[in-house]
Amino acid sequence: MSNSAAFPDWHGTTILAVRKNGRTVVAGDGQVSMGQTVVKGTARKVRRLAGGRVIAGFAGSTADAFTLIERLEAKLEQYPEQLARACVDLAKDWRTDRYLRRLEAMLIVADKDSIFTVTGVGDVLEPEHGVAAIGSGGNFALAAARALVDVADLDAEAVARRAMAIAAEICVYTNGELTVEVL
């Protein structure tokens, strides 16, 4: 039996990262739901790390995500300016450590040059098209951003904001209260 069977059915995160024309944006909505009830509409699921050089967004259990973000910060201190290496090292620890293996969260991590999705099964995925998304509304935001990213007059932030608005219109676990961080 997984940990999630013992806890309420928490939903309500959409995290989107967009890289376009040398700019990287990570956006997250603010909704947290328990079952059919919105518990909070203004949660902050996107954070700056490493002196502002890295942005991380999380989906899943908040306490678990904060544990992973703390571990990622330690890896970034160990491997400054090496985001890929820090993410791979975190994923390796997450996969092999008995305590970390039980954490139920996902991360999107980005710096000025790269975007990575990091999971508890050991994945560190870099998107092919400069767009990545996780969470309940992640697939909606991903599809919208992929459609918008080639529109010439939209910068990375405009793509992220429009895609998140589309996801919020479709996914009941996503709202329009955004946290947007830009590098």
Q: How confident is the model over 126-140, as pLDDT tens digits?
A: 998 999 999 999 999
Q: Exposed (0-12), middle (13-18) or buried (19+): which is 139, by Cβ within 10 Å? A: middle
What token pair was written down for 51? 């002196």
What pairs with residue 181 in β-bridges? 26
Annotated catalytic residue within 13, 24, 117, 179: 13
Task: Please tell me the predicted confidence (pLDDT) of residue 6.
Answer: 44
Task: Please tell me the predicted confidence (pLDDT) of residue 87.
Answer: 97
Q: How far apart, in Å, are the Cα atoms of 170 and each of 10, 91, 114, 138, 167?
A: 18, 31, 28, 11, 5
What is the rounded CA–CA span in Å between residue 178 and residue 43? 9
Domains by residue range for the chain, with CATH: 3-182 (3.60.20.10)
Task: Please tell me the predicted confidence (pLDDT) of residue 10.
Answer: 47
Q: How far apart, in Å, are the Cα atoms of 39 and each of 4, 10, 30, 43, 123?
A: 18, 10, 10, 10, 30
Tokens 């589309």, located at residue? 166
pLDDT band at 104 (very low <50, low <70, confident <90, very high): confident
Task: Please tell me the predicted confidence (pLDDT) of residue 8.
Answer: 44
Task: Please tell me the predicted confidence (pLDDT) of residue 44.
Answer: 94
Q: How confident is the model over 19-64, as pLDDT tens digits?
A: 999 999 999 999 988 878 888 999 999 999 999 999 999 998 888 8
Q: How confident is the model over 61-103, as pLDDT tens digits?
A: 888 888 999 999 999 999 999 999 999 999 998 888 777 777 7
For residue 42, indicate whether it is catalytic.
Answer: no
